[in-house]
Structures are given as structure tokens and as C-alpha cells.
């Protein structure tokens, strides 16, 4: 797919009198996965909202595939797919209807074959394509949402705690999908608490503390891909620090 | 707009796949259809009954044998208020105000026989009419269907997902309003159909019917945009529901009754009994018009004798007793008119106070449009009372003229002692048929339409206000998505 990926430059976001983001800078090139870790309230989700253009940025700039959401909101939304922590698709619609609906809202038309292909890619059994989501497990809902993200065919994908509540097999399947997506050139920014999952799939892992990027690790070409001891120590320290704060 | 239509379609799919919503819509539709059918049938029966009663009363009056004309003054007659073609839709004050008047000499009786007094106590809780269904029940159904339309989106997190697909908060508000508006349209359909059928049956009423349809359309739209705005502004579905139920209580229940109470306190109306006592007290001062020698009529007697250049009533070219009766009736009628004007003025002032309160409640405004359009409002009732009194006066004075011109004074004076004289004071029965029949002239459709303009403007103001509120609520939606 290719593209210019995601670039957050010195982002400052204020909510009330508090700086929720204090000069956050990170880059997710096309065809790479960036896992953003951090304790609760570190500002991870705020970074996603700023990239989505849902939050006004006090200073700095977010560039989604080279476009600034503050100035080109429509173009940014056409370039970005978002998978929220809680799959917020409609329970009264079937998997196929949900996908159709959100694609139509985004102004994208996909053929039945394309939709079937996306469902096959996420391993959603054909028998459930026309079942309402109210009968789906969390994993099946997640697969439907990922199929939607695939069908959006956007150069940038934002994921908010995507594996929360998934069983190990579903998590593994999900990671496989992410790697497939990455291979098509999609830039993926994933906010997560799942350090082990991040180590599995990410090209870069960032650790946020108090609205800032405290540390950043790049994957190596050797096994293990990351300095596991350093990562674990920094992550644990960040969580303890956040809890004591 | 494309996105708003898509959102509306998804919302309607939710409503129709949710059995509760579907049952609610079907129930309202049925209720509306049943109300339209039963109310129309009830009013048709009532219309027929009043017409039949009027015909029978007129026939009985005309069938009276040869009599002394003053006995016919006391025999009197009844008039029945006819029902307009649109009253089946909105009975207005018809079930509460009297619909029948007994007309007789020397007295102005109150209108009697109202549906509320004549029927079971259930009637007092309000008749099931299309107007009641639309004014009171339809908003309640719209509230139940719409209160969570937007709170649901932000509480489940789908609002954020929608916004990331390029949907704007304005699209969302518009889409949800379209869906709820369509349900409102379904609820309106039987009532509009009933109005259309009434307008086809009576083309002169088409303008008034169209204005009523417009009024109800505006009223439903006010609720639609208000509910969507409340759903967008509320933090949770529960908060939206509680707020909307509170608003519904105020608009549909408290304000109309409170307005009537306020009007009654600011502009109190004398009770009929108190008014009757005051009239009786003034009547006693007017003297007895049955007695030509009553001192009260001495001046009239002197004036009449002087006018005809005679010194005693026996020399007058007519029966002085009949002349005194006519003079007495003119005086009492003037007194009745004075009290009627006072009553009408007070009631109109009360009505104006209620109209002012309609700024706080669109339910009052739509009811005013409905009653004015259907001709079941206070103005029509006052018009009926006024025309009935004019008819009573004309009938009594016609009989008094017969008394004055067709009866000899000597026979009239001797009739209580002389049976032959009494026989001669009876005049032919064909005279009774010459009393003109009561023909009520209701307010024209044009006048009724003019009366509905102010409340239509009130509703337009309300609609503009809730649309602005809905537009403003779109601003807070982006923050709700976070």
C-alpha cells in the first residue's frame, strides 16, 4: 500500500489546565508497527485522538500520510482506520451489514467478493457473516472490526488496546493479521498494555510517561529482537511510578 | 446529507429489529387510527342527534295548537349547537361546554347538556381523539424511541468510530432526527389521513384542515429535534430519559392546566349561580311586564299614549299588554347582553392569558390551532351563545308583536274571567311556523385560519429554537467522543 506513514511532531495537547501530551514526537513509517506502551493516564489514547483529529492540538503537528488533521480533517479520515478498545460496531446489524454501513459512511464501496475475502483473511467463518453481532464473542467482533479496517485500505491504522479480552489463540491470530497488514505497507500505531504482544509484532516500542515519550526501542535483526530485560525494567518502573503517582 | 441518510437508515433498522420499538410504533399507529375512527363516528352520531333534536323541536313548536301568543313565549324552544366537519378530529371545549339552550321569554338560560355531564365518569379523563393522541401520547412514544439515540453511541464507543469515518456531529444529529422524524410521520399519518378525508367531504374546510395538519407537523418536529438535542447533550441515556419525561410532563400536562389555573386566578369568572343572582336582583328593579299597570312601565305608558294622542290605553290602536311585554323583553335583553359581554370579555381575557403561556408550551399552541381550525374553541361557543340570544329575542318579540297586533285589549284583559274572551285571544297555529328557524352561522374557515396564525408562529419559533439547540448540541458531541 505504501504512503508516508504517521508522524507526530512535538505534540502538546491541553485538557483544562493540564498538559496531557507534552511534546510527544514519534514516527511510524509505512510498513512498520509501532507499539506505544505506558501506564494508565500516560497519554497514549490522547496521542491517537490527536492523530485522528478528535482533539485540538495546542502546539506541534500530527501528520497522517503527510496530511494534518487540523487542516485536512476529511483527507486524514480517508487515510486512517481506527480500531477502538471496545469493538463499537452495531449489535443489531450482521457482520456484513456493519462492514457495509461503516464503509458507506466512509464513502467507500466494496464488492461482496472483497468483503468475503476480508472476512476470510480474518478467519471469520462464512456461516456467521449474516448473523447479528449480538450473537458474537468478543474475538469474533474483533475480527469483524479488523475486517472493516482491512477493507478501508487506508495507509495508516490506529489500534487502541486491540487484544484486551482476547484469548491467547485469538491474540495470536490477531498478531498474524497485523504482520500481514504490515507487509502490505500499512503504518500501524498500536496503543497497548501487552508488552509481550508488542515484542512479538512491533518494529518500534515506545514508552510514554506523563505525556512524554520516555524511552524508545527499535527491533534488532537478531533473537531476541528487543532488549527484553531493559524493556521489562522500564515498563515495570513506569507502571509502578504511575500507580504511586 | 448522504451520511445523514445512511445514519437514519441504520437507526430505523435498529428500531424495527427491536421488538419494543416496533410494538410501540404499531401501538401508536393503531391508537391514532382507532382515535380517528371512533372520534369521527362519535361526532357523526352527535351531529346527527343534534340535527334530529333540532328538527323535532322545531316541528313540536310549529305543531302547537292555536294559543295565546304569550303562552308560546313561555313554551319556548330549544336550540342545539351544530358540530363542524372537523370537530371529529378535535372536539375542543365541545364536551365540556353546554351544547343545548332552552329559549324562553324573560330569561336567558345557560347552555346545558355537555358530553362530560351526560356520560360516564370516564369521559372526564378525556376522550380518545386524534388530537389527544398527537398532543399527548405521540411525544411520549417519540421520547421512548429517541432518548438514547445519541447517548447510546457515545456510551458504547461507536460515536468515536463514526467520527473517524468522516461522519460529522451535524451528520449524526441530522441522521437521527431524520429517523425519528420518519417515526413521527408514521404517527401523524392516520391523523393527516383523517383530516384529508374530512377536507374532501367538506372542501370549504380544506384550508383549516391543512393548517391543522401543518400545526401538528410542526409540533411533532419540535419534539423530534428536542429529543435528539437532549440525547446529544445528556451524559447518559438515563439522564436523557428523565429530563425528557420531565419536559413532557411540563409541556403536555402541567403547562396547559397551569395556564388555565393562572388565567382563572388573574381574571376570575363569576359562577353562573352568582351571575344569576345579580341578574335576578336587577330584573326585580325592572318591574313586571305581565302587568300593564306596573309603576315601572308608567313612563312607557305615558310616552305611548302621548305618541298616539290618546289619554287611555283602551284607545290605542293595538293591545297595550303586548306592547308592555315587548318593552319588558327589550329591557331584560339589554340586561342579559350586558352580562354576556362581561362574561365573554372575561373568558376572552382568560384565553389570551393561556395564549401567552403557550410561549412556554407548544402543546398549548398546537391545541389552539387545533380548536380554532376545528371550530371547537371558545370563540365558536361564544358565537353560539350570542346567536342563540339573538334568535331568542327575535322569537319572543315576534310573539309579542302578535300579542300586540292580533289580540284585542278588551279580550286580553278579560280572558282570565271570560272563557269566550279567552277563546278569542288564541291565535291561529300557522303563526308559529312563521318564527324563523335557528340557523347557526359558525366562524368562517378563513376567520378560523386567521385565528390560527399566531399559534402557528409560536410553533415556528419553538421549532427554530430547538433546531438551534440541536445544532449547538452537535458541538459537544466531539468532546463526548473522547
CATH of the domain at A196: 3.40.50.300
Instruction: Return all residues near B390 (Cβ < 8 A) that are at least 6 apart.
Output: none
Cis peptide before B308 (omega within 30 of 0): no
Q: Is B10 on the interface with A (CB under 8 A)?
A: yes
Output DSSP code: residue B359. T
* For range A14-28, the mean pLDDT: 85
Distance from CA of A181 to the nearest CA of B (A): 19
Q: Is B348 on the interface with A (CB under 8 A)?
A: no
CA distance linking residue B232 with residue B226, whole number of Å: 10
Residue of B135, B220, B156, B168 lying closest to B14 (CA atoms): B156
Please check whether residue A144 lies inside any domain of the structure.
no
Please check whether residue A145 lies inside any domain of the structure.
no
- Write down the ipTM of this complex: 0.81
**CA B106 → CA A40, B293, B394, distances in Å?**
91, 18, 13
Cα–chain-centroid distance for residue A63?
Answer: 16
When divided into structural domains, chain A yields a total of 1
Best of B161, B169, B476 to substitute, by most chain A Cβ atoms within 10 angstroms, is B161
Residue of A139, A166, A236, A158 lying closest to A195 (CA atoms): A236
Rounded to 5 degrees, φ, ψ at A218 are -105, 145
Please check whether residue A119 lies inside any domain of the structure.
no
pLDDT at A238: 66
pLDDT at B289: 66
Residue of A237, A178, A238, A239 lying closest to A28 (CA atoms): A178
Please check whether residue A53 is in contact with residue A76, taking contact to mean a CB–CB distance below 8 angstroms: yes
CA distance linking residue B367 with residue B357, whole number of Å: 12
Residue A245 has pLDDT above 60, yes or no: no
Residues A61-79 pLDDT 10s: 888 888 888 888 888 888 8
Question: What is the pLDDT confidence band of residue B215, given thresholds at 50, 70 and 90?
Answer: very high
Distance from CA of B244 to the nearest CA of A (A): 25
* For range B430-440, the mean pLDDT: 87
- Shortest CA distance from B475: residue in chain A: A54
Please check whether residue B127 is in contact with residue B115, taking contact to mean a CB–CB distance below 8 angstroms: yes
CA distance linking residue A218 with residue A207, whole number of Å: 12
Residue of B363, B364, B340 lying closest to B263 (CA atoms): B364
Q: Is B22 on the interface with A (CB under 8 A)?
A: no
Residues B185-211 pLDDT 10s: 888 888 888 888 888 888 888 888 999
Please check whether residue A9 is in contact with residue A63, taking contact to mean a CB–CB distance below 8 angstroms: yes
Mean pLDDT of chain B: 85
Residue of B400, B395, B396 lying closest to B318 (CA atoms): B400
CA A64, A69, A71, A77 torsion: positive or negative?
A: positive
The DSSP line for B383-409 is: HHHHHHHHHHHHHHHHHHHHHHHHS-H
Q: Angle between the A168-183 and A138-152 helix axes, to the nearest 10 degrees?
A: 0
Rounded to 5 degrees, φ, ψ at B64 are -65, 145
The DSSP line for B338-354 is: HHHHHHHHHHHHHHHHH
Please check whether residue A11 lies inside any domain of the structure.
yes
- Out of A177-181, A227-231, B97-101, B255-259, least confident range: A227-231
Instruction: Return all residues near B171 (Cβ < 8 A) that are at least 6 apart.
Output: B3, B4, B7
> Higher model confidence: residue B296 or residue B268?
B268
Best of A14, A54, A146 to substitute, by most chain B Cβ atoms within 10 angstroms, is A54
Residue ranges of chain A whose CB lies within 8 Å of a chain B CB: 49, 52, 54-55, 74, 77-78, 80-82, 84-86, 88-90, 92-93, 97, 101-102, 104-107
Distance from CA of A49 to the nearest CA of B (A): 7
Domain residue limits at A51: 6-88+154-244
Of A54, A106, A107, nearest to B478 by CB-CB distance is: A54
The DSSP line for B184-222 is: HHHHHHHHHHHHHHHHHHSGGGHHHHHHHHHHHHHHHHH
Q: Which three cell numbers stand for residue B364?
A: 398549548
Please check whether residue A34 is in contact with residue A189, taking contact to mean a CB–CB distance below 8 angstroms: yes
Best of B165, B176, B480, B481 to substitute, by most chain A Cβ atoms within 10 angstroms, is B165
Of B17, B156, B167, nearest to A105 by CB-CB distance is: B167
Residue B124 has pLDDT above 50, yes or no: no
CA distance linking residue B431 with residue B427, whole number of Å: 8
pLDDT at A33: 93
Q: For chain B, what percent of residues have pLDDT higher than 90?
A: 22
> Higher model confidence: residue B306 or residue B272?
B306
Whether residue B6 and residue A107 make contact (CB cut-off 8 A), yes or no, is no
Whether residue A82 and residue B158 make contact (CB cut-off 8 A), yes or no, is no
Question: What is the pLDDT confidence band of residue B98, given thresholds at 50, 70 and 90?
Answer: confident
Residue B228 has pLDDT above 90, yes or no: yes
Residues A74-104 pLDDT 10s: 888 888 888 887 778 888 889 999 999 999 9
Q: Residues B34-54, buried b or exposed e (16+ Cβ, 10 A)? A: ebbeebbebbeebbeebeebb
Q: Please give the sequence-ordered ranges of beta strands (E in DSSP) within chain A, or none if there are none.
A: 6-15, 18-28, 33-38, 59-64, 80-83, 156-160, 187-191, 204-209, 212-218
CA distance linking residue B351 with residue B364, whole number of Å: 11
CA distance linking residue A145 with residue A161, whole number of Å: 13
Burial of B227 (0-12, 13-18, 19+ CB in 10 A): buried
Cα–chain-centroid distance for residue B377?
Answer: 2
Instruction: Return all residues near A148 (Cβ < 8 A) that are at least 6 apart.
Output: A81, A89, A98, A99, A102, A103, A118
pLDDT at B387: 92
The number of C-alpha atoms within 13 Å of B12 and in the hemisphere containing its C-beta is: 16
Residues B59-83 pLDDT 10s: 898 889 998 989 988 888 888 888 8
Please check whether residue A80 lies inside any domain of the structure.
yes
Please check whether residue A102 lies inside any domain of the structure.
no
* For range A20-29, the mean pLDDT: 88
> Higher model confidence: residue B374 or residue B285?
B374
Between chain A and chain B, the number of residue pairs with CB atoms below 8 A apart is 60
Please check whether residue A57 is in contact with residue A49, taking contact to mean a CB–CB distance below 8 angstroms: no
Question: What is the pLDDT confidence band of residue B362, given thresholds at 50, 70 and 90?
Answer: very high
Please check whether residue B124 is in contact with residue B116, taking contact to mean a CB–CB distance below 8 angstroms: yes
**Contacts of residue B3 in chain A, CB cutoff 8 Å?**
105
Instruction: Strand B107-108: give its sheet, edge to edge.
Output: B77-80, B100-104, B107-108
Distance from CA of A225 to the nearest CA of B (A): 33
pLDDT at B175: 94
* For range A225-245, the mean pLDDT: 65
Please check whether residue A229 lies inside any domain of the structure.
yes
CA distance linking residue B242 with residue B445, whole number of Å: 41
Whether residue B166 and residue A84 make contact (CB cut-off 8 A), yes or no, is no
Rounded (5°) CA angle B136-B140-B141: 120
Whether residue B6 and residue A49 make contact (CB cut-off 8 A), yes or no, is no
Whether residue A54 and residue B14 make contact (CB cut-off 8 A), yes or no, is no
- CB atoms near residue A236 (< 10 Å): 11
Strand partners, A209: A212
Residue B463 has pLDDT above 90, yes or no: yes
Residue B435 has pLDDT above 50, yes or no: yes
> Higher model confidence: residue B345 or residue A219?
B345
Residue of B273, B276, B296, B272 lying closest to B285 (CA atoms): B296
Residue A229 has pLDDT above 60, yes or no: yes
Q: Which three cell numbers stand for residue B246?
A: 420531565
Best of A18, A53, A90 to substitute, by most chain B Cβ atoms within 10 angstroms, is A90
The DSSP line for B131-191 is: HHIIIIIHHHHHHHHHTTTTHHHHHHTHHHHHHHTT--HHHHHHHHHHHHHHHHHHHHHHH
CA A128, A133, A139, A145 torsion: positive or negative?
A: positive
Instruction: Return all residues near A127 (Cβ < 8 A) that are at least 6 apart.
Output: none
Please check whether residue B113 is in contact with residue B92, taking contact to mean a CB–CB distance below 8 angstroms: no
Question: What is the pLDDT confidence band of residue A242, given thresholds at 50, 70 and 90?
Answer: low
Please check whether residue A155 is in contact with residue A187, taking contact to mean a CB–CB distance below 8 angstroms: yes
Please check whether residue A240 lies inside any domain of the structure.
yes
Output DSSP code: residue A135. G
CA distance linking residue B33 with residue B36, whole number of Å: 5
CA distance linking residue B76 with residue B396, whole number of Å: 8
Question: What is the pLDDT confidence band of residue A244, given thresholds at 50, 70 and 90?
Answer: very low
Amino acid at each position: 500500500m505504501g504512503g508516508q506513514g504517521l508522524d507526530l511532531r512535538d505534540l502538546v495537547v491541553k485538557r483544562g489546565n493540564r498538559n496531557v501530551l507534552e511534546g510527544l514526537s514519534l514516527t511510524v513509517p509505512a510498513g512498520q508497527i509501532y507499539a506505544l506502551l505506558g501506564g494508565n493516564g500516560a497519554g497514549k489514547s490522547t496521542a491517537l485522538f490527536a492523530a485522528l483529529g478528535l482533539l485540538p492540538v495546542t502546539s506541534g503537528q500530527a501528520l497522517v500520510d503527510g496530511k494534518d488533521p487540523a487542516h485536512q480533517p476529511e483527507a486524514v479520515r480517508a487515510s486512517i482506520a481506527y480500531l477502538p478498545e471496545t469493538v463499537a460496531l452495531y449489535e443489531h446489524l450482521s457482520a456484513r451489514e456493519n462492514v457495509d454501513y461503516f464503509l458507506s459512511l466512509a464513502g467507500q464501496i466494496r464488492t461482496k467478493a472483497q468483503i468475503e475475502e476480508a472476512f476470510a483473511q480474518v478467519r471469520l467463518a462464512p456461516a456467521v457473516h449474516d448473523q447479528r453481532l449480538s450473537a458474537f464473542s468478543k474475538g469474533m467482533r474483533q475480527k469483524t472490526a479488523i475486517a472493516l479496517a482491512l477493507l478501508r485500505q487506508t495507509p495508516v491504522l490506529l489500534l487502541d488496546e486491540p487484544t484486551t479480552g482476547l484469548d491467547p489463540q485469538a491474540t495470536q491470530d490477531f498478531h498474524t493479521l497485523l504482520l500481514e497488514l504490515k507487509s502490505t505497507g500499512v503504518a500501524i500505531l498500536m496503543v497497548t498494555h501487552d508488552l509481550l504482544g508488542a515484542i512479538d509484532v512491533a518494529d518500534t516500542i515506545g514508552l510514554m510517561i506523563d505525556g512524554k515519550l520516555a524511552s524508545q526501542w527499535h527491533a534488532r535483526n537478531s533473537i531476541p529482537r528487543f532488549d527484553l530485560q531493559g524493556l521489562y525494567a522500564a515498563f515495570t518502573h513506569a507502571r509502578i511510578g504511575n500507580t504511586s503517582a | 446529507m448522504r451520511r445523514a441518510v445512511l445514519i437514519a437508515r441504520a437507526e430505523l433498522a435498529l428500531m424495527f429489529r427491536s421488538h419494543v420499538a416496533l410494538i410501540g410504533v404499531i401501538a401508536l399507529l393503531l391508537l391514532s387510527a382507532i382515535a380517528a375512527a371512533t372520534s369521527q363516528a362519535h361526532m357523526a352520531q352527535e351531529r346527527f342527534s343534534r340535527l334530529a333534536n333540532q328538527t323535532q323541536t322545531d316541528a313540536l313548536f310549529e305543531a302547537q295548537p292555536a294559543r295565546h301568543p304569550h303562552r308560546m313565549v313561555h313554551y319556548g324552544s330549544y336550540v342545539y349547537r351544530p358540530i363542524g366537519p372537523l370537530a371529529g378530529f378535535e372536539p375542543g371545549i365541545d364536551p365540556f361546554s353546554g351544547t343545548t339552550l332552552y329559549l324562553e321569554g324573560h330569561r336567558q338560560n345557560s347552555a346545558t347538556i355537555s358530553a362530560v355531564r351526560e356520560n360516564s365518569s370516564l369521559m372526564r379523563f378525556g376522550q380518545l381523539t386524534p388530537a389527544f393522541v398527537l398532543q399527548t401520547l405521540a411525544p411520549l412514544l417519540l421520547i421512548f424511541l429517541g432518548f438514547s439515540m445519541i447517548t447510546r453511541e457515545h456510551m458504547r464507543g461507536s460515536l468515536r468510530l463514526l467520527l473517524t469515518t468522516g461522519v460529522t456531529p451535524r451528520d449524526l444529529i441530522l441522521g437521527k432526527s431524520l429517523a425519528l422524524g420518519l417515526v413521527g410521520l408514521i404517527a401523524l399519518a392516520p391523523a393527516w389521513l383523517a383530516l384529508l378525508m374530512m377536507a374532501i367531504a367538506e372542501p370549504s374546510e380544506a384550508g383549516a384542515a391543512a393548517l391543522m395538519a401543518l400545526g401538528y407537523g410542526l409540533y411533532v418536529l419540535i419534539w423530534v429535534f428536542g429529543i435528539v438535542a437532549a440525547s446529544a447533550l445528556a451524559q447518559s441515556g438515563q439522564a436523557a430519559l428523565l429530563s425528557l419525561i420531565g419536559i413532557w410532563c411540563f409541556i403536555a400536562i402541567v403547562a396547559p392546566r397551569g395556564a388555565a389555573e393562572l388565567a382563572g386566578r388573574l381574571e376570575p369568572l363569576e359562577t353562573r349561580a352568582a351571575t344569576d343572582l345579580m341578574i335576578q336582583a336587577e330584573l326585580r328593579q325592572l318591574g313586571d311586564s305581565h302587568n300593564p299597570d306596573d309603576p315601572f312601565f308608567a313612563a312607557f305608558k305615558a310616552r305611548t299614549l302621548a305618541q298616539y294622542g290618546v289619554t287611555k290605553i283602551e284607545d290605542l290602536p293595538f293591545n297595550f299588554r303586548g306592547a308592555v311585554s315587548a318593552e319588558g323583553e327589550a329591557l331584560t335583553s339589554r340586561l342579559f347582553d350586558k352580562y354576556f359581554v362581561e362574561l365573554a370579555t372575561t373568558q376572552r381575557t382568560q384565553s389570551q392569558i393561556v395564549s401567552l403561556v403557550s410561549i412556554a408550551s407548544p402543546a398549548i399552541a398546537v391545541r389552539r390551532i387545533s380548536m380554532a381550525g376545528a371550530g371547537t374553541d371558545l370563540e365558536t361557543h361564544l358565537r353560539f351563545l350570542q346567536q342563540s340570544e339573538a334568535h331568542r329575542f327575535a322569537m319572543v318579540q315576534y310573539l309579542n308583536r302578535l300579542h300586540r297586533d292580533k289580540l284585542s285589549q278588551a279580550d286580553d284583559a278579560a280572558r282570565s274571567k271570560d272563557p269566550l274572551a279567552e277563546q278569542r285571544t288564541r291565535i291561529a297555529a300557522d303563526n308559529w311556523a312563521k318564527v324563523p328557524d335557528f340557523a347557526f352561522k359558525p366562524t368562517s374557515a378563513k376567520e378560523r385560519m386567521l385565528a390560527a396564525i399566531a399559534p402557528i408562529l409560536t410553533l415556528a419559533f419553538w421549532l427554530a429554537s430547538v433546531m438551534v439547540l440541536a445544532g449547538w448540541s452537535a458541538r459537544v458531541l466531539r468532546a463526548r467522543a473522547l
